[in-house]
Amino acid sequence: MGENPAKNHYAQLNKGEENEMDIFGYKTQGCRKALCIAGYILSCGVLRLLFYWKPEWDVWVNCIRCSLEDADIVLLRTTDDFRIYSRKTVTWISVSAFIKSRSDYPATEEDSIFSKAIMKPSLQVKTIQVQKIRYVWNIYAKQFQKVGVLEDHYTCSAIHDKFGSGLSCNEQNVRRVICGPNTIDVPVIPIWKLLIKEVLNPFYVFQLFSVCLWFAEEYMEYATAIIVMSLLSIFLTVYDLRKQSIKLHRLVESHNNIMVTVCRNKEGFQELESRHLVPGDMLILKEGKTLLPCDAILVSGQCTVNESMLTGESIPVTKTHLPQADNFKPWKVYCAEDYRKHVLFCGTEVIQTKADDTGVVKAVVLRTGFNTAKGDLVRSILYPKPMNFKLYRDALRFLMCLIAFAAIGMIYTVCVFVLNGEETGEVVKKALDVITIAVPPALPAALTTGIIYTQQRLKKKGIFCISPQRINMCGQLNLFCFDKTGTLTEDGLDLWGLLPCERNCFQDIHSFPADHSLPWGPVFKALAVCHSLIVWEGKIQGDPLDVKMFEATNWVIDDSSGHRIEGSTHATIVRPGIKATTAPVEGIAILHQFPFSSALQRMSVIAQEIGGDPQAFIKGAPEIVAMLCRAETVPSNFESKLLLYTAQGFRVIGLACKSLQAGKLPAALTREEVESDLTFLGLLIMENRLKRETKPVLEELSAARIRSVMVTGDNIQTAITVAKNAGMIAPTYRVILVEANKMPGSFPASITWKSLEENKTEAYRSLGDESQTEPGIKMALGSGQYHFAMSGKSYQIVAQHFRHLLPKLLLNGTVFARMSPSHKSSLIEEFQKLDYFVGMCGDGANDCGALKVAHAGISLSEQEASVASPFTSRTPSIACVPELIREGRAALVTSFCMFKYMALYSTIQYLGVLLLYWQLNSFGNYQFLFQDLAITTVIGVTMSFTGAYPKLVPYRPPSQLISPPLLLSVVLNILFSLSMQIFGFVVVQQQPWYSKTDVHSACLPVNSHEKNSSSSLALHGVRDGAHEQTDNGFKSYENTTVWLLSTINCLIVALVFSKGKPFRQPIYTNYVFVLVLIGQLGICLFLMFADIDDLYSKMDLVCTPTTWRISMVVMLAVTLAVSFLVEEAVIENRALWLLLKKTFRYHSKSHYKRLQHMLEQDSTWPPLNETFFSDSVAVAVEGNMGGHSNPTFDSSEDSL
C-alpha cells in the first residue's frame, strides 16, 4: 500500500536538509485496533512481529488517514533511495502553569515559533520527537517546525535588541517546557533492550523456527549447537553495541551539567545549570577556561576558542561579536559565509575572553541539545546513513530464490508422502524440514565472521572501522579523493622566502633560513602583527602558517594581561625578543582584529606602535590583496611573479598595509573602511612538501586503475603543481583550466576552457607560435590525455548554470581547488551519481562531511570530529588507502565464496534428502549433524582466514552476486552434484548384492553349500535382530551412498570455491583451513572404508563391498576434476568473459563508462579556448551544496 499525498495529510519535514523526510498524518481507530489485538492473539504474536518489522503496515492497518493537524500518529518516510518508514506518536505539552493571563506573554514573542505553537485556549503545544529532535506544530503555517533553535529570520540588530538584556523568567520557563532540556543525552541502552532488539531480527526468528522444528524431530544436537552459536553471536553483538553506547555516553556526558551565568531581563545575573538554557538566553562568559554547553552567537567582546573537538585541528580560533548592522537581512544572510566567526559551538572550549567597553563578554544562545554542532555529530553516529550496496540487495534476492527452490521441494515432499499414506503431522514436519535445509540458517553468521576477521586485520595495520558493512564496499572503489594539506603534503609549512615590494617594484628575494635577519620596515611589521596568535599554556598557539611567519621575526608576544591602549580594552602587545634585530620601537599593540574569512580570503588587524599612530595590516590570497591595493603600488609584473612561484608548488601570501587616522576608535571602523586603498608590501612564499608515502601510493593506485582526485581549499596553481609532483597528472598529459564566471544581475554565466602551458613564459608567446603546436594539442586531447582543473567558485557556477556539462567535466576532473566543505561533499555526491565508487581521505577537519558522504571515508585524524568517518587511520599518511582497498577486495571475494559455498552446501543436502524422500527415507540425525556441524560450520569459520593479496591488480572483483560467472558457477556445480548423487542412487540399485529390504546382504560371506544355509541364516537372523533393535528406519544402501557422496562433495565445493589470487592470498597460506579440509576428508574416508558396527549403527550407515566404496571415490574424484577444471578454465577465465562481452557487444551500465565511450567519439570535446554562455535557468544550489558539512569549519587553506 503506497502513499498518495492528499490535502493536509502529507508534508515534508526539514525540507532541503540532509535529514529530509516525508510526513503523513493518521488517526487511531478503536475498532481497527481491537481487530488487530484479536489478530495478535490468534496469530500467537506473529502479526505483531510483522508490524514490528514493517511499522508502515501497523499504521495503515490500525489507523485512518487524516490531516496532520488532527493526527495523533504520524508516519515518517525518508526521501532517499531506501524510503525507510518509522512511526511516531504525537504528544501534548501544557504551558498553562506559566501563562495565567495575556500579560504573561510579552509582545516581543509574537513572531517566534513559541507563540505560534501554543493553542488557545487549552494552552497546549502539539509535538513529535524524531531522531532526538523535537518538532512543534505551527498553528499558522500548518506544519511541524523544529524547536531548540533561534529562528533564522532575526536580523543582527533584532538579536541585539530583543535578546541583548536577556529573557524574563516567564519567557525562559515557557521556552524550557517547549524545547526540553539542553542536554545531549545518550543513555546507555539497557542490555535487555539490546537483547530483545537483536533477538527480533528476522534472521534469528527464522533460526528459532528451525530450532523448534528440529526439537520436534528430536534433532537435539544440531539444534543445541545452533542455539549456542546464535547466543554467542547475539551476546557478541550486544556486547559491541553496549560498548559503543557507553563510549558515546561518556563522550557527551561532560557537556550536560555545567554551571553557567545568564542575564535575566530586569533581574540581573543568575547562575543555573546548563541543561536549563533555552534559545534566546543571554549567556555571560567569564574569564578562564569554559566548556560551551550550547551553540551561541557572540554579541559583545571577543573570544579565543579551541575547536579541535569538532574540526580536528587544535588551533585556537578567534571569534568576534556580531555587528549591530541596521538592515532587513537575516543575520546569517548579512554575515554570509562569515557567520561562523560570530558563533561559539557546543563542545568547544573558550580559552580566552576579551571584553569590550561594556566590560562583559556576552553571547545569545542559538541552539540547544541535539540541534547544536556537537549534537549533530552525535546524531550522525546514532543514525548513520544506510549504505546502498548491490551485494546486500543481491543477497536478499538470492535468499528469495532459495526460498522459491525450497517451496518446490515442499510441494514434492507433500505429494510423495501423502500418496504413500503418511500421517498428516509427519508430512507437515517433513515439508517444513525442507525449508531449513534449502535456506541455510548459518549463512549470515558465516558472512559476519569474514567481516570480523577483516576488521581485525585492519586493526593490526592501524586502521579502525566503526562501520563494518562498508568494508565490502572498499573492494569496489575505483575513484579516491584526497585532501591536499596534511594528507598528500606535510602538515606544517616552511618559510621559503619573502619578496618585498618598494615603489611598485619587487626587490631581491629574502630567503629563509637566512644568514642576515629581516630588516625593519613595513613588511617586518606586517609579519609581526598580522596574525591571530595567542599565548596559551606558555606557548604561542594558532594557525601553523601564522606561527612560522611570526617566529621569523624573533619577536615575542607579551602575554601579561590588561594592556590598556586608548580605544581598546585589551590589546595584545608584541615586542622584540632576545635574538631580534634592533628595532626603533618598544613594541606594537594589536588593537583590533578582523579574523580570517574563507569568503573574503583574507584577514586584517589594526595595530599601533607604542607611542605611534595606528596602522592596518592585511594578509591573504595574493590576487585578492592586490585588488584591494592602490594600482600604483602593485608591481606591473605581479601576475607573472605570482605564477612563477605557484607553478612551483609554493604557497604564496600577499601582504599590504595602510595608515589610519589617529582620532578614530579601532572598534568603530568597519572592515570595508580598513581593507581599502592599501599599499602593496610584497609576497610571502611558503613551502608545502609532499609526504614521503604520497608518490608511491598514488602510483600504486594508478597502476590498479583507481582514479585519484585532489580536492583542496588551496590555490589552484599550487594544487596543480602538487598534483604533478605527486604523479596524479602524468608529465605527458595536458592540464585544462575550466573557469566559470557569473556577473551579478541578469547576465548569463560563462564557462571557458584554457590550456595551461608547461613553461609559464610561453603564456606570453606570439599567436604564430601557438598555431604550430595546435595539432599536437589536439592529438593529445583526442586520445583523452588531459585533466581538468577548476576552483570551487567555478564548480558552483557549473553546478548551477551548466548542469549538463558537469558529468563531462567530472570524467576528467583531477584538481578541484578552493573547495569549501560543502563543495567537497557535493562533489563526492556528483561522482557517485556517475556510478563511481568513491573513497575520500582527509585529515578529518574540513573533510568531515565528505568523509561521511563517500562510500568509504578514511580520516587521518583521531580527533572527535572524525568519529563520523567510517574508517580512521592511526598513521597520518595515505599509505592506509591501498591497504584498505586490498582488504576490501579480499573481504568482498570472501563474501562471494561464502555465499557460493553456503548455497551449494544447502543445495547438495537438499538434493540428497529429496532423493531419499522418493523412498520415504531421509538422512539420520547424526548424518545431518556431521554435515551441518563438523563440515559446514568449521569450514564457514576457517574459510575467511585467507588474507589479502599484496598486489593491487588493475581490475575489481565482481560487485554483483547475481552475475553470469557466479550464477554459472553455482548452477554447474549443482548439476555436477545432482548428476553424481543420482548416478550413485541409481547405480547402487543395479548392484548384484543390492537388496531393498536386507541392508546386510552386501557384507555376508556367500556360501554356495546348501547344508550351511541354515546356520548361515540363523547367524543372519541374530545379527539382523541385533541391528533391528537400533535401526531407526534410515538405513539403506541408497542412504549410505548418497550421504557419503554429498558429504565429501561439500569438501570438494569448499576447496574449489576458495579463491586465491588475484584478490586473496593462495589457499595454501590459510594453514588452518587446509588442515581442517585434510582432517575432514580423513574422517570421511575413514567412515567410508572402516567397517565398525557400532560406529556405522550410530551414523545410520550400512556396510558395502570395497569395490563399491572405491567406485564412490572414483565418482568423487571425477566430480572434483570436472568442477576444478570448469572453475579455473571457464568461471575464472577473465580473458574468455571479456571476449564474450566483446562478441555480444556488451557495454557497461555504469554512467561514467557510457559517457567515456561517448566522449571518445566526440572530436569537439574539450572545446579548448572557447567560451560558452548559459541560457538556462539556474539550479538553486547556492545555499546548500548538499552533503553534510561540519558547521564549525572554516578552512584556513583558503588564505592563499
Set of cell numbers at residue 405: 527452490
Residues 6+ apart with CB under 8 A from 134: 127, 128, 146, 147, 148, 179, 180
> What are the beta bridge partners of residue 413?
none
- Report DSSP state, residue 189: P
Q: Report whether 322 contacts 163 (CB < 8 A).
A: no
Q: Of 47, 72, 71, which Cα lies nearest the Cα of 58? A: 47
The residue assigned the cell 613564459 is 761
- Report DSSP state, residue 1128: I
Q: Report whether 277 contacts 180 (CB < 8 A).
A: no
Q: Which residues are catalytic?
A: 483
Taking the C-alpha atoms of residue 163 and residue 157, their distance in angstroms, rounded to an integer, is: 10
Q: Of 494, 489, 619, 616, which Cα lies nearest the Cα of 552? A: 494
The residue assigned the cell 596602522 is 615
φ, ψ of residue 491 in degrees (nearest 5): -70, -50
> What are the beta bridge partners of residue 619?
603, 655
DSSP codes joined into one string, 447-472: HHHHHHHHHHHHHHTTEEES-GGGHH
Residues 6+ apart with CB under 8 A from 1127: 969, 1056, 1057
φ, ψ of residue 1182 in degrees (nearest 5): -55, -50
Taking the C-alpha atoms of residue 573 and residue 529, their distance in angstroms, rounded to an integer, is: 9
φ, ψ of residue 475 in degrees (nearest 5): -70, -15
CA 518 to each of CA 504, 528, 545, 578, 650: distance values in angstroms, whole numbers, following the listed order: 20, 11, 18, 15, 20
Set of cell numbers at residue 519: 630588516
Strands 259-264 and 463-465: unpaired
φ, ψ of residue 813 in degrees (nearest 5): -75, 125
Greatest alpha-carbon pair distance for the chain in Å reads 139
Burial label for 143, CB within 10 Å (0-12, 13-18, 19+), is: middle
Strands 651-659 and 614-620: antiparallel
The residue assigned the cell 605570482 is 642
Q: Is 346 helix (H, G, I), strand (E, B) or coil?
A: coil
Q: Is 742 helix (H, G, I), strand (E, B) or coil?
A: coil
Taking the C-alpha atoms of residue 644 and residue 632, their distance in angstroms, rounded to an integer, is: 22
φ, ψ of residue 648 in degrees (nearest 5): -90, 5
φ, ψ of residue 238 in degrees (nearest 5): -65, -40
Q: Of 336, 471, 403, which Cα lies nearest the Cα of 839? A: 471
φ, ψ of residue 117 in degrees (nearest 5): -100, -15
> What are the beta bridge partners of residue 510?
498
Taking the C-alpha atoms of residue 1069 and residue 424, their distance in angstroms, rounded to an integer, is: 52
Set of cell numbers at residue 470: 562498508
Taking the C-alpha atoms of residue 750 and residue 178, their distance in angstroms, rounded to an integer, is: 49
Taking the C-alpha atoms of residue 853 and residue 388, their distance in angstroms, rounded to an integer, is: 12
Query: What is the number of other CB atoms lying within 10 angstroms of the CB of residue 518?
Result: 19
The residue assigned the cell 549410505 is 1040
Q: Report whether 298 contacts 341 (CB < 8 A).
A: no
Taking the C-alpha atoms of residue 551 and residue 544, their distance in angstroms, rounded to an integer, is: 10
